[in-house]
């Protein structure tokens, strides 16, 4: 669906492009399969789509109950694996580094305490735990940062972005550009 929408948007503004569905850190492989060695530009859109966020079954949203999944692709590990198995220090690192969350410590402790009693089963369970340790007027922003942090960790987004940028630079023609759309700091 996303690829079809991108194709329609590109055609509507008259840009000549070849669109392929693949993971963005496989630029070398994808261009090689197309017989392309140099490109005019690359646009990376790092945000999760509203289609992903709006589907409770994907587990990306803190607004609707769903499984703790958050996988962008078909990986084996899920957000549940992180929430229910990562040590306190790992949770602290994830929330602090990828969510820039000031209350990482309190949230990590609350998660560890709760999962010591029973596994955290879904997004609503996680939301309840987080809300138990933060001021009510700050819950939306904190929830957004924590869910973002888990998604980034699970999908290894920053290491994949680094790989993709390096590969893209190696294929750029002289004067070509790379654009990156980011929805977080």
**What is the average per-residue pLDDT within 104-120?**
98
- Orientation of helix 157-171 relative to helix 139-154, angle to 10°: 60
Q: What one-character DSSP code corresponds to residue 48?
A: P
pLDDT tens-digit readout, 68-78: 999 988 778 99
Q: What is the pLDDT of residue 131?
A: 98
C-alpha angle 93-71-81 in degrees, rounded to nearest 5: 55
- Given pLDDT bands bounded at 50, 70 and 90, which one contains residue 16? confident
Q: What is the pLDDT of residue 144?
A: 94
pLDDT at 115 over 80: yes
CA dihedral 148, 144, 165, 27 (to 10 degrees): 60
Q: Exposed, middle or buried, 72 (CB in 10 Å: 0-12/13-18/19+)?
A: middle
Instruction: Record the pTM.
Output: 0.85
Q: At residue 120, what are phi and psi to the nearest 5 degrees? A: -85, 120
């Amino acid at each position: 669906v996303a690829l079809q929408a991108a194709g329609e948007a590109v055609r509507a503004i008259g840009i000549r492009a070849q669109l392929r569905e693949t993971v963005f850190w496989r630029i070398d492989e994808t261009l090689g399969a197309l017989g392309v060695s140099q490109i005019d530009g690359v646009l990376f859109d790092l945000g999760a789509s509203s289609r992903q966020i709006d589907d409770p079954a994907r587990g990306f949203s803190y607004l609707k109950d769903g499984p703790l999944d958050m996988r962008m692709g078909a990986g084996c590990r899920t957000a549940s694996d992180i929430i229910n198995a990562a040590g306190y220090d790992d949770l602290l690192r994830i929330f602090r580094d990828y969510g820039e969350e000031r209350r990482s410590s309190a949230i990590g402790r609350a998660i560890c305490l709760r999962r010591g009693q029973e596994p955290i089963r879904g997004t609503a369970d996680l939301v309840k735990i987080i809300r138990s340790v933060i001021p009510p007027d700050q819950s939306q922003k904190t929830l957004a940062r924590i869910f973002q942090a888990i998604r980034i960790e699970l999908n290894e987004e920053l290491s994949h972005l680094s790989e993709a940028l390096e590969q893209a630079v190696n294929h750029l023609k002289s004067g070509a550009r790379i654009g990156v759309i980011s929805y977080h700091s």
